[in-house]
Amino acid sequence: MISGGGTGGHIYPAIAIANAWKESYPDSEILFVGALGKMEMQKVPEEGYQIVGLPVAGLQRKLTLENLKFPFKLLQSLLKARKIVKEFRPDVVVGVGGYASGPVLYAAQSKGIPTLVQEQNSYAGLTNKILAKKANKICVAYPEMDRFFPGEKIAYTGNPVRKDILDLDGKREKGCSHFKLEEGKKTILVLGGSLGARTLNQAVLKDMKKLQKEGYQVLWQCGKYYFKDMLEKTEAAGLPHIHLREFIREMDLAYAVADVIVSRAGALSVSELSLVGKPVIFIPSPNVAEDHQTKNAMAYVNHEAAWLLKDKDAVGELKMKIDELMSNPQTVETLGINMKQLAKPDAANAIRKEIEKLVA
């Protein structure tokens, strides 16, 4: 049983773990447990796995009616999680973070079922810190995570990512054709996550005319919250080399065409980009718990593997950073080399081996 979700950063590692397990044990039954209304309820079935949903939701930062419902939804979710665990009778339960992870792992731990926590970020979330106390194993993506978890339970595995990005050789031509890009032009790939990132969108919007004039083409994932607004504005500007997408599913092709990547610093994005080994400008989101995206990015910036641009400086300074990077081939090469040295390409199988130890 695999529980958690809410964002691509939780969902795609969960699917990668399931795929790695299924490859070794094709007759296994795998059940996902997610949060009703969240993206895992769509994405997991698309990958061929069964998922059930809990009514659990997070607390809002301000006083709302939804916050008043929180205790009731949590109690409902705990009861439903207990029922799901009892009926499915899993040999092991994996929690990847997100709202559903808490009730499911709590239910499994109370029944003495082995549990494994997968923490994607360099700064552990509150739910995982609580669950880790009774978890049998904690798989982490960054060193020095014994600040948050018992050292004897930690396995430094890295974050599992989609297999198709492990080999980008020869995919640039196919990517240019797929996204209708010009092969000879320098390509900026902008990634704000599946839901979108307001600051990144504003920064590209402000500089898109200058970027095209400079000779760049931009492949821009703006996210579903912003797509309609961005589409109206880009169409009005009439810029043929600004290629707007709500969501990019073919990430291997997107990475293959990119010369420079501009991205938020969510755990999954950072792990994928380390495997891609291309120059990255991270613009961490300031609207996350404990500023963990900045901590994720700094783990790479401190090793001269990426650049960081603060969210508050992005609108107005993005093009300047891109120009600076593009005009320095030595820096581009150094960032790519250093980035790949921090990659952990076999994370999914490393986690599978940890699960095997718990099932044995």
Q: Is 7 annotated as a binding residue?
A: yes
306 and 334 Cβ atoms separated by less than 8 Å: no
Give the Cα separation of 278 and 340 in Å (integer): 8
Answer yes or no: is 352 a known binding residue. Answer: no
Q: Give the integer Cα–Cα distance in Å for 305 and 162.
A: 21
Neighbours of 333 (CB within 10 A): 11
User: Is residue 9 annotated as involved in ligand binding?
Assistant: yes
17 annotated to bind ligand: no
Q: DSSP character for 27?
A: T
Nearest C-alpha neighbor of 57 from the set 47, 66, 48, 46 = 66
What's the rounded Cα separation, in Å, for the pair 193 and 48? 23
Report whether 248 belongs to an annotated binding site: yes
| Look-up of token digits 């995206």 | 293
Single out the residue of 157, 156, 105, 155 nearest to residue 133, CA to CA. 105
Question: According to the annotation, is 330 in a ligand binding site?
Answer: no
Q: Is 268 annotated as a binding residue?
A: yes
Instruction: Supply angle C-alpha 125, 129, 131, rounded to 5.
Output: 115
**Which among 317, 360, 351 has a CA at the least distance from the CA of 138?**
351
Ligand-binding site membership of 59 (annotated): no
24 is in an annotated binding site: no
Q: Is 269 annotated as a binding residue?
A: yes
Establish whether 177 is an annotated binding residue: no
* Consecutive H or E run containing 352: helix 347-359
Helix (H) or strand (E) holding 225: none
Residue 263 labeled ligand binder: no
Task: Determine if residue 274 is labeled as part of a ligand binding site.
Answer: no
Q: Which residues, at least 6 apart from 292, have a Cβ–Cβ distance to it below 8 Å?
A: 121, 122, 123, 125
Cβ-contact 158, 268 below 8 angstroms = no
**Is residue 8 part of an annotated ligand binding site?**
yes
Q: Mutual orientation of helices 227-237 and 198-213 as an angle, nearest 10°?
A: 20
Which residue ranges make up the annotated binding site for UDP-N-acetyl-alpha-D-glucosamine?
7-9, 121, 162, 194, 248, 267-272, 293
Which residue ranges make up the annotated binding site?
7-9, 121, 162, 194, 248, 267-272, 293
